[in-house]
Chain A
Amino acid sequence: MEMTGETVIRAPRGDVWSALNDPDVLKACIPGCERLEKTSPTDMEADVTQKVGPVKARFKGAVTLEDIVEGESYRLVGEGKGGAAGFAKGGAHVRLSDHDEGTLLSYEAEARVGGKLAQLGSRLIDGFARKMADEFFATFKAQVEGPPSAETAAAITDADTDASNAASTEDTAAREPAMAGAAPESKSWIRKIFS
């Protein structure tokens, strides 16, 4: 699957770039990440526990940063092995540009899965990846900006992300947990109904 999205972060570009290269920030932002260590300036190792539909697995992953343009963009390429659950591979091209309110972060990401994840979870994978991305950037935004109010973060995430994949834009399940990182207690779709 492929997806694109963008979000405005109310922080200077330099700060956003630093955060994108900070293993601690990344660890806090990657949903289910238990360990993330830099093994070189461009290589990281990560352990992530995730559940895709009926398959729950602990992924041992390697993440490499490529095509680095300092302060502007990089490509993040990763691969995780989940043992009997199979594997996940993906990449994201992340770009920063100046914006009236701070920094515009845009990304194009692709992901695919193999083994049991594909066998049992393929119908769920688009929604799952969407959710992972939404959670990642919501948390990332919160990390860089400092804790915002839940309302603002929800509005930005929902409004700014746009999936190129038609299936996932229609997939409410993908959007529903978008706030999990910033406001784990509330469900954005509930808020939409009652606001």
Chain B
Amino acid sequence: MAKDFGIGASSKRREDKRFLTGTGRYTDDMNKPGQAYVHFLRSDMASGRINGIDIAAAEAAPGVIKVFTSRDFEAVGGVPCGWQVTDRHGEPMKEPKHPVLAEGFVRHVGDPIAAVVAETRAQARDAAELIEVDLEELPAVVNLRAAVSGGTAVHPEAPDNLCYDWDFPAESKDAVDEAIRNAHHVTVLELVNNRLVANPMEPRAAIGEYDAADDQHTLWTTSQNPHVIRLLMGAFVLGIPEHKLRVVAPDVGGGFGSKIYHYAEEAFVTLAAKVLNRPVKWTSDRGEAFMSDAHGRDHVCKVELAMDAEGHFLALRSTTLANMGAYLSTFAPCIPTWLHGTLLAGNYKTPLIFTNVRAVFTNTVPVDAYRGAGRPEATYLIERTVDKAAREMGIDPAELRRRNFITQFPYQTPVAVEYDSGDYNATLDKVLEGSDRAGFEARKAESASRGKLRGYGLAHYIEACGIAPSSLVGALGARAGLYEAATVRVNPTGSISVFTGSHSHGQGHETTFAQVVADMLGVPEDSIDIVHGDTNRVPFGMGTYGSRSLAVGGSAIVKSVDKIVAKAKKIAAHLLEAAESDITFENGQFSVQGTDKSLAWGEVCLAAYVPHKYPIETLEPGLEETSFYDPANFTYPSGAYACEVEVDPETGKVEVLSFTAADDFGNVVNPMIVEGQVHGGLAQGLGQALMEGCVYDENGQLITASFMDYAMPLAKDLPSFTVDNSACTPCTHNPLGVKGCGEAGAIGSPPALVNAVLDALSDYGIAHIDMPLTPSKVWAAIDAARPAAAAE
């Protein structure tokens, strides 16, 4: 029977009340007394030399308070990168400075050149038009392959445009080469993982405040991790110590990775507020978001999969060009390396794996993590290649997968990570059943009778979530630990405030985390408040990304609750005049084993704060505990996805008829929220596969910079999803046994859809079409294949 509260209950999201009634508090909803507005003048060229900036007319314009240029930022640092990758020669990656405002050169369309602060937003905008920039256009580096073929350099310190050239695992290279040379069959696939724009519903915004009386800075910002912003901006950019800098990320309307990073605009408003001694506010408009939010994906890959005659995988080799954009965003270098190379085993026991990744600077917006971050790229290249291999070997795609599945856990992959648990056959069984694979041929025939091509596509995925063991990521180049912190404060009457370092920007933490605490303490969920997003209230935090909140942040809360219970038992033992070891705690009652003596939760809490009868010599009053939880391993959610499509051969239009997901997220706290997360991820993954694509022209102009040209999936583009998470193998190393569900949908769905479309087109012998599978691309592929199909 479904539970009605605590772990396992589909409790309604308490945060939705304010979101649905318009009472959420987003950064742009806030206005501070005396607030001024900033408008950034951004480069309209992809690459150029700034020969001069004349701000006189703009400074004289109505309402203008000050016009800032890079000169005003000479004393501060650049926007830092949070991860250092070491290349195959043992050299650190190239890390060119990323100034707050462009210094001498602009390097992408949208690079901020100057900033106008004025009394109103309109005045700031108007005045920006009066700034005369003598910008000399330089050749732009746009195409990845061209970027590494010599010629123009984005940064002088990287003449070949390489941030790094990375081999992994370096020692496997020769063995992989040899296995591929000697294999019965090698499936080869070249593919592009298309560049995406995250497009959260709420554009970024930031307000800087400064209190001169106590030299206190406050930054209100649309961030997924306020403490990380405080660390990066305080320590590396502006030189403000933590105790003088408060960062608040209030309600945030989606991030999908794009709000992890520290952005120049945040540093700008924080510094400008001090310079001008008044609050300064910035709100991105949608067009600005397209050219200033970090983009995602953008890989060009070649994959080779070696097999024996029975289709057993012998070796996998991939080479990837990964776009970094013009500057290194906070986590950019680790996405194509440690979040991509380490996942190349997928769900399979391929014994030998080698990858080379070259990270490339181009005159485009910085590229960083986007929902899935590296793992969708790995999954896509594996699952597309496996599907192609099945076709070439004449083996059913499901059977080829089964033949190669990892079935023994824990499993040490040849790419560093060790999977703790999983059951890939179980999720495959679920998805084949849920999608009625058995009835597909009949449905295909029915489609054919209407002149439509029906296809069925499978994909498996594995991801490394619950990011991440600090000592491990430190060894891999992270410049921070990736633990999480939580304080549980039990108030005198027994109500509870939980202060978590995880940040909720759509995930429903206020509900889920309350369920966990309620379940552990046997108290009502509504007696628990979840506080997040404020560095002055929460002790510390590394934030929300990489499906880590419940696995890492939730585990920190569990640790604190465990400490609370341990202390409360001591208090109860004293009050009940019993031995501590005889005290049991269940359903909110402290009882002496084997007696009818008991105390309610609230009575013990009150005693902690009114310690009249209290073991004061050995126990401090109060009931509040803080914990830091550093995970022992990543978590490894996995799953099987099936997609069924119909292609109209006359138009190339792909219709997604059904999508079935069978995920293993470990234990599930709130099934409704998990289902919602999967739905959102699937929508984004199918968006990538079907329609989304960020395009620059050959001069580096961003030509998909609005929703007119960048197609976001709409409800009409998607089927009703079938989601199952009953094939569950709990995580073995965190207290909740949870794995994380935030990214799965976006990771596993693109290859399932592309495999389905290529299955539909199998009579045409089309081996591959790069995403997005727009009608024009599909039609062109069909058209090009027609003579061949007709001749057969």
Bound pair: A and B?
yes
- Do A116 and B287 have beta carbons less than 8 Å apart? yes
User: SS class of chain A's interface: helix, strand, loop or mixed?
Assistant: helix
Partner of B44, one of A114, A120, A123: A114
Tell me, in angstroms, the Cα distance from A2 to B109 when the chains sit together: 23
Known A-B contacts A86-B44, A87-B44, A114-B45; the reply to A119 vs B703 at CB < 8 A is: yes
A115 part of interface (Cβ distance < 8 Å) = yes
Within 8 A of B (CB), among A96-116: 112-116
Chain A positions within 8 Å of B697 at CB level: 112, 118, 122
CB under 8 Å from chain B, chain A span 52-91: 83-84, 86-87
Complexed CA–CA distance, A122 and B709 (Å)? 9
Q: A115 contacts B709, CB within 8 Å?
A: no
Q: A118 and B703 in contact (CB under 8 A), knowing A86-B44, A123-B709?
A: yes
**Quick check: B129 and A119 within 8 Å, CB to CB?**
no
| Chain A residues, CB < 8 A from B708 | 120, 123
Known: A114-B699, A115-B44, A119-B706. A84 touches B128 (CB 8 A): yes
Distance to closest chain B CB from A113 (angstroms) = 7
A119 touches B699 (CB 8 A): no
Could you say which residues of chain B place their CB within 8 Å of the CB of A116? 44, 287, 705
Task: Write the chain A residue with the least CB distance to B126.
Answer: A84
Is A122 a contact of B129 with CB atoms below 8 Å? no
Q: Which residues of A contact B45 (CB under 8 A)?
A: 87, 114-115
B125: A residues at CB distance < 8 A: 84
Closest to B290 in A: A119
Distance (whole angstroms) from the CB of A183 to the closest CB of chain B: 32
Q: Is there contact, CB below 8 Å, between B109 and A120?
A: no
Nearest CB of chain B from residue A168's CB, rounded to whole Å: 16
Which A residues lie within 8 Å of B291 (CB)?
A: 119
Question: B128: which A residues are within 8 A, CB to CB?
Answer: 84
B701 part of interface (Cβ distance < 8 Å):
yes
The residue of chain B having its C-beta at the shortest distance from the C-beta of A58 within the complex is B129
One digit per residue, 1 when the CB lies within 8 angstroms of any chain B CB and 0 when it does not, for chain A 7-32 equals 00000000000000000000000000
How many Å lie between the Cα of A83 and that of B132 in the bound state? Answer: 9
Contact A114 B129 (CB under 8 A): no
Q: How far is the CA of A83 from the CA of B290 in the complex (A)?
A: 19
> Which residues from B are CB-within-8-Å of A122?
697, 701, 703, 709
Residues in A neighbouring B46, C-beta threshold 8 A: 114
Q: Which residues of A contact B314 (CB under 8 A)?
A: none
> Is B702 among interface residues, defined by CB-CB distance under 8 A?
yes
**Identity of the chain A residue whose Cβ is nearest the Cβ of B705 in the assembled complex:** A119
Which of B44, B702, B703, B708 has the largest number of chain A CB atoms within 10 A? B44
Counted as pairs of residues, one from A and one from B, with CB atoms less than 8 Å apart, the total is: 51
How long is the Cα–Cα vector from A116 to B44 in the complex, in angstroms? 7
Report A159 CB to chain B, min CB distance, Å.
31
- With beta carbons under 8 angstroms apart, the residue of A84, A87, A113 that contacts B129 is A84
Cβ contacts A118-142/B at 8 Å (1 or 0 each): 1110110000000000000000000
Q: What 1/0 flags go to B700-742 for Cβ under 8 Å of A?
A: 0111011011000000000000000000000000000000000
CB atoms of A112 and B109 under 8 A apart: no
Contacts of A123 in B (CB 8 A): 703, 708-709
Query: A158 to nearest B CB, angstroms?
Result: 28
Query: Interface readout for B32-46 with A: 1 if CB under 8 Å, 0 if not?
Result: 000000000000111
Closest partner residue, chain B, to A79 (CB atom): B137
Give complex CA distance A122, B703 in Å: 6
CB distance from B678 to the nearest CB of A (A): 33
Nearest B-chain residue to A112, judged by Cβ: B699
Output the least CB separation between B67 and chain A (Å).
Answer: 15
Q: CB-CB < 8 A to B290: which residues of A?
A: 119
Task: Decide if A114 touches B701 in the complex (CB within 8 Å).
Answer: yes
Given contacts A87-B44, A114-B109, A114-B699, whether A120 and B129 have CB atoms under 8 Å apart is no
Nearest opposing residue in chain A for B706, CB measure: A120
Q: Which of A175-191 contact B (CB under 8 A)?
A: none
Q: Which residues of A contact B709 (CB under 8 A)?
A: 120, 122-123
Q: How far is the CB of A59 from chain B (nearest CB, A)?
A: 13
Which B residues are CB-close (under 8 A) to A120?
287, 705-706, 708-709
CB distance from A83 to the nearest CB of B (A): 4
Q: Are A118 and B129 in contact (CB under 8 A)?
A: no
- Residues in A with CB closer than 8 Å to B702 are 118-119
| 0/1 interface trace, chain B 50-62, chain A, CB 8 Å (1 if under) | 0000000000000
A113 touches B705 (CB 8 A): no
Count chain A CB atoms within 10 A of each CB in B290, B291, B699, B703 and give the residue with the most.
B703
Docked Cα-Cα span, A60 to B466, in Å, equals 54
Chain A, Cβ-Cβ closest to B696? A118
B526 to chain A, nearest CB (A): 47
Q: CA separation between A34 and B109, bound complex, in Å?
A: 29
**A84 CB contacts on chain B under 8 angstroms:** 125, 128-129
B283-294 interface code vs A (CB 8 A; 1 in, 0 out) = 000010011000
Cβ–Cβ < 8 Å partners of A87 in chain B: 44-45
Give the interface centre of A87, A114, A116, A120 by most chain B CB atoms within 10 Å.
A114
**Complexed CA–CA distance, A118 and B705 (Å):** 9
B706 adjacent to A118 (CB under 8 Å): no
Report A9 CB to chain B, min CB distance, Å.
Answer: 34
A128 to chain B, nearest CB (A): 14
Most chain B CB atoms below 10 A, which of A112, A119, A122: A119
With A and B bound together, what is the CA distance between A118 and B291 in angstroms? 12
Alpha-carbon distance A87/B702, docked complex (angstroms): 13
Residue of B nearest to A118 (CB): B701
Whole-angstrom CA separation of A83 from B44 in the bound complex: 9
Are A83 and B129 closer than 8 Å at their CB atoms? yes
Give Cα distance in the complex from A61 to B706, angstroms.
Answer: 27
**Chain A residue with the shortest CB-CB distance to B39:** A84
With CB as the reference atom, state the residue of chain B lying closest to A53: B708
**Which residues of B have CB within 8 Å of A113?**
701
Question: How distant is B420 from chain A, measured CB to nearest CB, in Å?
Answer: 46
Contacts of B699 in A (CB 8 A): 112, 114
Per the bound structure, the CA–CA distance linking A83 and B131 in Å amounts to: 9
Complex alpha-carbon distance, A84 and B128, angstroms? 8
A118 to nearest B CB, angstroms? 4
5 A-B pairs with the lowest CB-CB distances in the bound complex, closest first? A115-B44, A119-B705, A118-B701, A122-B703, A83-B129
Beyond A84-B129, A114-B46, A118-B705, list 17 extra A-B contacts (CB 8 Å).
A84-B128, A87-B44, A87-B45, A112-B699, A114-B44, A114-B699, A114-B701, A116-B287, A118-B697, A118-B702, A119-B287, A119-B291, A119-B701, A119-B702, A120-B706, A122-B709, A123-B709
Q: Using CB atoms and an 8 Å cutoff, list the residues of chain B in contact with chain A.
A: 44-46, 109, 125, 128-129, 287, 290-291, 697, 699, 701-703, 705-706, 708-709
14 A-B pairs whose Cβ atoms sit less than 8 Å apart in the complex? A112-B697, A114-B45, A114-B699, A115-B44, A115-B45, A115-B109, A116-B44, A116-B287, A118-B702, A118-B703, A119-B290, A119-B291, A120-B287, A122-B709
